[in-house]
Amino acid sequence: MSEPSRFDRGHTDDLLTFLAASPTPYHAVANTAERLEKAGFRQVAETDAWDGTSGGKYVLRGGAIVAWFVPEGAAPHTPFRIVGAHTDSPNLRVKPRPDTGAHGFRQVAVEIYGGPLLNSWLDRDLGLAGRLTLRDGSTRLVNVDRPLLRVPQLAIHLDRSVSADGLKLDKQRHLQPIWGLGDDVHDGDLIAFLEEESGLAPGEVTGWDLMTHSVEAPAYLGRDQDLVAGPRMDNLLSLHAGVAALASAAAREDLQYIPVLAGFDHEENGSQSDTGADGPLLGGVLERSVFARGGSYEDRARAFAGTVCLSSDTGHAVHPNYAERHDPTHHPRVNGGPILKVNVNNRYATDGSGRAVFASACEKAGVPFQTFVSNNSMPCGTTIGPITAARHGIKTVDIGVAILSMHSARELCGDQDPYLLANALVAFLEG
């Protein structure tokens, strides 16, 4: 048996490229699909009949993707090994009637998506990207990746209390970005601009899903460049590691499981959509894979009973300025390896047997890992792990990479942790 593929600093270099090229969930899954295609995977349509052939396949639905590799001769009851992640990140998203303005400024009306650190979006050069839907029902990705929008902060001279009382932002009044000058606001100006940017005829766009992003490029940071600063690490860092691990596992000839990558949308607002973890997408794909290989409901039940999912999402590294906010005996450190997330109230799905699965994968990969629990005095966050476990009845383990500035427009991680995570995921998918 050949040794598993190993990722190194080059993996982190590639992560920076992936982050910059993926300003929205739609771009993230398109870039994931492109990487899978290069690894020999092929797209299958949900509206087509599926066959039971071996090889790599994937399904795209909006901002979500599910990809899997069927080894030669895999039985219908062969269990799955799943890496789960999400594609969305908190940001400012364009409203249905986007054209607005006041006092000589043209503005774009936005709504708050998820739970962003709102102050991190102030005085930052923003681009605009997303998905345009055309009259014929087709879609077109758009990415204006240059300084286009800005949410200007109020000068301290006009709010002296900000130094003593802290910044207080009204989500409706204070976060509408500026994108030009003029007293006349015309409905349709923004969409007309995007049609021109995309080479489309006027009036061709009838629907849109648009969001802002920071145009500052991801970069290494620090004296020794041992940190990485960039947008959307929560959770494109996990998606990027997952696709690299799936492609690596698919090159093996002795797989005992069917490796799967599931990238869901809408985790940041509850996962309840047809592309979210609480929707039917993953279960439908897994079941159809079983049935396409001639399996029965009994085979499906056997396959699910032996399946394990690693739900990979970023977590909290101990903050040097706020160490008291963390559990006193659990201080995950940047570049200390991936974290195992535990919460006895099932905000995370990890239990002792799941810990053993992850520990075995890390040992096989030669990767250290850490454990995260919340301070008892603070509420614990959650992710797709408990949803996946409850909806599909499969063993799920919550893991991730420890970062700082989670939900900021620009987050911070260690330069080694992305490839340590990817190495652990390869070992897990190979079984």
pLDDT tens-digit readout, 69-94: 999 999 999 999 999 999 999 999 99
pLDDT of 431 reads: 87
In the predicted model, what is the mean pLDDT of residues 300-322? 98
% of the chain surpassing 70 pLDDT: 99
| DSSP letter (8 states) at residue 306 | T
Position with higher pLDDT, 19 vs 253: 19
Which alpha helices (H) appear in 56-98, and where do they start and end?
none
**Segment 128-180, tens digit of pLDDT:** 999 999 999 999 999 999 999 999 999 999 998 888 888 999 999 999 999 99
User: Is the confidence at residue 1, as pLDDT, over 80?
Assistant: no
Cβ proximity of 132 and 190 under 8 Å? no
pLDDT, tens only, 268-289 = 999 999 999 999 999 999 999 9
Tokens of 271: 């996962």
Q: Give kind and range of the element (H or E) at residue 259.
A: strand 258-264
SS3 125: coil
Q: Report how far apart the first and last C-alpha atoms of the chain are (Å, whole number).
A: 13
Residue range 350-378, pLDDT digits in tens: 999 999 999 999 999 999 999 999 999 99
Using 50, 70 and 90 to split pLDDT, how confident is the model at 51? very high
Share of the chain above pLDDT 90, in %: 96
pLDDT of residue 2: 40
* Residue 291 vs residues 53, 101, 282, 285: alpha-carbon distances, Å: 12, 55, 14, 10
Looking at residue 6, its pLDDT comes to 77
Sheet containing strand 227-230, edge to edge, reads: 219-221, 227-230, 411-414
Contact between residue 66 and residue 282 where contact means Cβ atoms under 8 Å apart: yes
CA distance 15 to 6: 15
Tally Cβ neighbours within 10 Å of residue 124: 19
Query: Tokens 């500052």, residue?
Result: 216
Q: Residue 236 and residue 141: Cα distance in Å, rounded?
A: 18
Assign 387 a pLDDT band (cuts: 50, 70, 90).
Answer: very high
**Are 158 and 128 contacting, i.e. CB atoms less than 8 angstroms apart?**
no
Residue 82 belongs to what H/E stretch?
A: strand 80-86
pLDDT for position 322: 96
Is 108's pLDDT higher than 70?
Answer: yes
pTM: 0.96
Residue with token string 């691990």: 245
